[in-house]
Structure 1
């Protein structure tokens, strides 16, 4: 067996599950939510490999994957920003920061 056989089988399995979901054979809410994060991460990884190999198309794939990830994590990013602002405000009230 070649080195990429396991990765190829994984890609085929993910593709089949996505296709089954689109055809109406649902595999569960938990798996769907996990795949919503796995696919963009795979896109970023494949884009990185493309960039590393000198392919300009890799920038497009990685960029789309990053945009998808940021949009999915936007609520967590906003929560982190809010906590940071609250902490910074309290530190300003205590006089530790200018």
Structure 2
């Protein structure tokens, strides 16, 4: 099989379609389906930007990005908390080296 740039898009579309069908037939796909729509909006916005439709592309990317950030807010909060803890320990370590 010759690899070209359309194979990746085709495989992605097949995967997304299979996930939607599995969900409709009652196979629990978890929270993955909740992330599908915002990621698809970002992808369509990028495709719009690539094809010269910059206004609609930016709108789709912004709405998809905001929706995805809301869905990932728990993970973002955990990463922020870990970063604050690490930064706090680094401040303590620097202060103890001064004396």
TM-score, reference length from structure 1: 0.68
Q: Please identify runs of 4+ aligned residues in structure 1 that moved more than 2 A.
A: 9-14, 25-28
Distance 2:47 2:66 in 1: 18
How big is the shift at 1:77? 0.5
Distance 2:60 2:27 in 1: 27
Distance 1:47 1:73 in 2: 19
Distance 1:85 1:11 in 2: 38
Distance 1:11 1:53 in 2: 24
Unaligned runs of 5+ in 1: none
TM-score, reference length from structure 2: 0.67
Q: 1:89 to 1:35 in 2, by over 3 A?
A: same
Unaligned runs of 5+ in 2: 1-5
Number of corresponding residues: 87
Distance 2:32 2:26 in 1: 14
- Kindly report the root-mean-square deviation, in angstroms, between the aligned alpha carbons of the 2 structures: 3.0
Q: Which residue of 1 aligns with 2:35?
A: 37
Q: Deviations over 1:16-65 (max 9, x none)?
A: 75xx85xxx7543xx25211112211110110110121211111111111
Distance 2:59 2:36 in 1: 18
Name the SS for the 2:57 alignment partner: helix
